[in-house]
Structures are given as C-alpha cells and as structure tokens.
Amino acid sequence: MWLSLLSGLCLHLVFLCSAEEGLEFPNFDGKDRVMDINERNYKKALKRYDLLCLFYHEPLPANKGLQKRFQMTELVLELTAQVLENKDIGFGMVDSQKDVKVARKLGLEEVGSLYVFKDDRVIEFDGELSADTLVEFLLDVSNFKAFQEASERFQPYIKFFATFDKSVAKHLSLKMNEVNFYEPFMEEPAIVPGRPLSEIDIVEYVTQHRRATLRKLRAENIFETWEDDMDGIHIVAFAEEEDPDGYEFLEILKDVARDNTNNPELSIVWIDPDDFPLLTTYWEKTFKLDLFRPQIGVVNVTDADSVWLDMSNDEDLPTAEELEDWIEDVLSGRVNTEDDDESADEPENPDSLHDQDSNGNF
C-alpha cells in the first residue's frame, strides 16, 4: 500500500541488510503483505487468519519527518509479516480517521497500538514496534494454542484459565506466555518450566503434578479421586470447615500439605462431611468413627479396612509436627491397616494409634 513512499526507505534497509549478510537478517522483499483494513474487508480478514494484527494509526501526517516515522512503522509490519509468512498471521492497518467505524466495531482505542485478534479475544501490544520484538511477541501468542490443546486432555477435572488482560496478569504475577500451576491450598503457584512451552510439556507437567498433596473430595470428582489411590490406600481426613475444631484441623492439614508439597508420595483426601449428608452415616458405620469430630486415618481401598489417629482423649488437636510424624509412619508402612488383622487380641500400640477393629467406639 505505501510502497511508492517506501522505496527510499527500502533501499536504506537493503543497504543495512547487505552490510550484515553474515547474520542473515531478512531483507524486505518488496512484496506488500499488510492489508489496508476497511469496512468491506475486516470481517473476512478476522475469519481468514489464526491471528490478525491490526495497527491502529493516525492519518498519514503532512509533516515530512512524521511521515518518515510512519513509514518506518509500516516497514516493521511488512518485515514482520514477511518473516511470519507461514504462520497464518494477517497484518493490517486501521486509519483512526478513515476507518473510524471499523475501529469502533473492533474496539480499537489507542492510536499507535497494535491489536492482536485471536478467536474471540483481543490482545493489545504497546511494546516497542521493532520487527524482532513483534515477531517474538506473536510467536508467544501463537503458543496459546499449545495451552488450549493441553487443557482439553484434562477436561473437566483440571481447570485451565487464560488471561489476555495485562492488569489481571500483573495481579497474578503472571508473565507473558507463562503457565502457572496452582495446587489446591498452596499459597504460591508453581511455574511450569520451559519456554516456549509445547502441548506435551504442559501435559507432562500437569500429569505429574495433578495429584495434590491435599485434595478435597467433591461430589463431581468423587470416583475419580477415590480411584486415584496411593498403592491401595488413602490417607483420609474428615473435617467440617464450618465447625471450629474442623476448621482448626483443616488449617493444620494445610500447613502439613504446604510443608510436604514436593513429596510425590503424599496425598491427603479431605472430606467435609457437610458436603455428603447421604454418605456420612455410611462412613461412620464403615470406619467406626464419630464424624462430629475431625478425624484422620488410613483406608485400604480394597476392603475399606482402616486405622485412625487417636485424637479422642486429647483436649488439643495434634500439632503439624505430630501429624507429620504420623504421616511419615503411614508412608513408611509402620502404621498400616494390616498389622492387627490376624491378631486383634494383641495389645495395641499404646501411643497414638487407635484401631477401630478392636476398639469400636470412641
């Protein structure tokens, strides 16, 4: 479109490029790729490309110096379009005066900004308008596809969110093209390593980390969670969040989980009995428990045999350290559901364990 005006500039660029031949900087080949967007073609352009980049600009200024700057910008877009020719990215210019209607329809507001349209979303680019910055930015945006496709593998159990809003990203300390993984009850997210992230990178990371250190049993994932046992057992904690003791116990559990978030062996299933009124009596009977109090134990998923930490005599709930010691005993097998099975009449381990098989009621 601006080629006649650009010719002087092109020569200049060619000169620059030949001077740096060893680096193989791309030459602008003179082919016009940036579209002049108007009311007739903008819808088609939106539909046609995976990404559409629109530069929203003031009308061509009369001042020669300003004209030159304008042409430089256009050249940057042309060169970017050329470099990314095979990436299904469209480029266009929207004139804030001539194309005022289109601008309004597309929500373009800031003159001098570049707007990137992807599916139904708009990303505003107000960084430095140089070909290398722009190419990098657009390649980053195209990476969103990997994220989208990875998300489909975990439907509906793991929720994926993306933001295209700078202030939201800032609030979350989320960098462009970064994927943060929020494990339940953790204070800080983990940053999925690698850049640029491929779909496989994301899928592998989520697969490896999806079993949370503390996970809440919910009606919508009850079977999924129960089937995801740790070598035949679950560590199960019952705590009513609405109840003061339950709440306090849950806070202790969260502390323990935060301390042990990097232990892949550990996962505690938290059940709030309030969420499962129909199952509560069944659990009380099966596990021989009083679910008005917080409880934590080991359940064998094969036969529902279970062992529970004795908290009945204490005024206080266990501390995080005490709970961690007990969990260590469970993970090492010192506390298990089997030891007592044939010898129910043997004396109990006196310190902390309360066995429901021989001591039915609290």
Ligand X SMILES: *[C@@H]1O[C@H](CO)[C@@H](O)[C@H](O)[C@H]1NC(C)=O
Which residues in this chain contact ligand X in the complex, by CB under 6 A? 231-233, 300, 302-303, 305, 336-338
State in angstroms the smallest separation of the CB of 265 from ligand X. 13
CB-nearer residue toward ligand X: 34 or 307: 307
Residue 74's Cα: distance from chain center in Å?
36
CB-nearer residue toward ligand X: 102 or 330: 330
State in angstroms the smallest separation of the CB of 231 from ligand X. 6
Which residues, in sequence order, are CB contacts of 67 under 8 Å at separation 6+? 5, 60, 61
3-state secondary structure of 356: coil
CB-nearer residue toward ligand X: 21 or 231: 231
CB-nearer residue toward ligand X: 213 or 337: 337
The answer to whether residues 272 and 239 touch, using CB atoms and an 8 Å cutoff, is yes
CB-nearer residue toward ligand X: 305 or 310: 305
State in angstroms the smallest separation of the CB of 339 from ligand X. 9
Q: How far apart are CA 59 and CA 94, in angstroms?
A: 9
Nearest to 107 by CA among 115, 97, 95: 115
State in angstroms the smallest separation of the CB of 268 from ligand X. 16
Phi, psi of 165 (to 5 degrees): -110, 120
CB-nearer residue toward ligand X: 95 or 305: 305
Q: Which helix (H) or strand (E) holds 151?
A: helix 144-152
Rounded to whole angstroms, the maximal C-alpha distance in the chain is 100
State in angstroms the smallest separation of the CB of 306 from ligand X. 10
State in angstroms the smallest separation of the CB of 230 from ligand X. 9
Q: How far apart are CA 236 and CA 297, in angstroms?
A: 5
The answer to whether residues 134 and 80 touch, using CB atoms and an 8 Å cutoff, is yes
Nearest to 267 by CA among 294, 228, 293, 305: 228
Q: Which helix (H) or strand (E) holds 92?
A: strand 89-95
